[in-house]
Structure 1
């Protein structure tokens, strides 16, 4: 059994494989009893969202034998939630993510392994 932090970081890596944007891992262990970590990632379109969704679900199942306990939402709505029990993965179109502002709602949750990308200025 994979520990929840390792699973959350693996989900981040898999989303990154398909060029998901603004990937954030929130440690919600002290704030919620529903999960240990939230992984939040943005996609630019429905096809992009589908590609990220397939990468995460297929690789976790093929390589680690993990299937989500539940899946909610659909690419057409712009928000899909994958429930891996201790890790909840939110894959969202950028406009939907901005509207619901999960990072703001869970603002007290520490970010895990955040890598700051510097903007290149000319």
Structure 2
């Protein structure tokens, strides 16, 4: 069974906020068939600890403002290398580029369906239009 509309709203809102804060390599995975505790992962990365934290702040603000959601758990905020935001239905991972390559979450969950991200597509179109 694919993810529900509520989880999809969380993913899309968080992805748009991450793109606004210049997150790189966004990937959303439907893990609902493999994990009983969450529906989806959103994975994003950045080139510095400061940028990781800015992306996390943007995601938290957008989900709170638009969907009245706060994470039930937040891990790694102090280090800014890998921050995990747990919204129960969706778990968001924002990683430093080096940690993203090392831990390779996409490879671990490669048998899970990818969720399309319109925000990422819009950002790519905007970049193409600028050139």
Q: Same fold (TM over 0.5)?
A: yes
Q: Deviations over 1:37-89 (max 9, x none)?
A: 10000011011111101100112112321100100112525000000000000
Following superposition of structure 1 onto structure 2, how do residues 43-122 of structure 1 map, counting pairs within 5 Å?
43-76=46-79, 78-113=81-116
Q: Cα–Cα, structure 1 residues 53 and 100, in superposed 2: closer, same or farther, change >3 Å?
A: same
Q: Which has the higher helix share?
A: 2
User: Residue 28 of structure 1 aligns with which residue?
Assistant: 31
The 1-side partners of 2:6 and 2:30 are apart by: 13
- Conserved in 1, the CA contact under 8 Å of 2:82 and 2:94? yes
- Following superposition, which runs of at least 4 residues in structure 1 exceed 2 angstroms of deviation? 114-117
Count of aligned pairs between the two proteins: 118
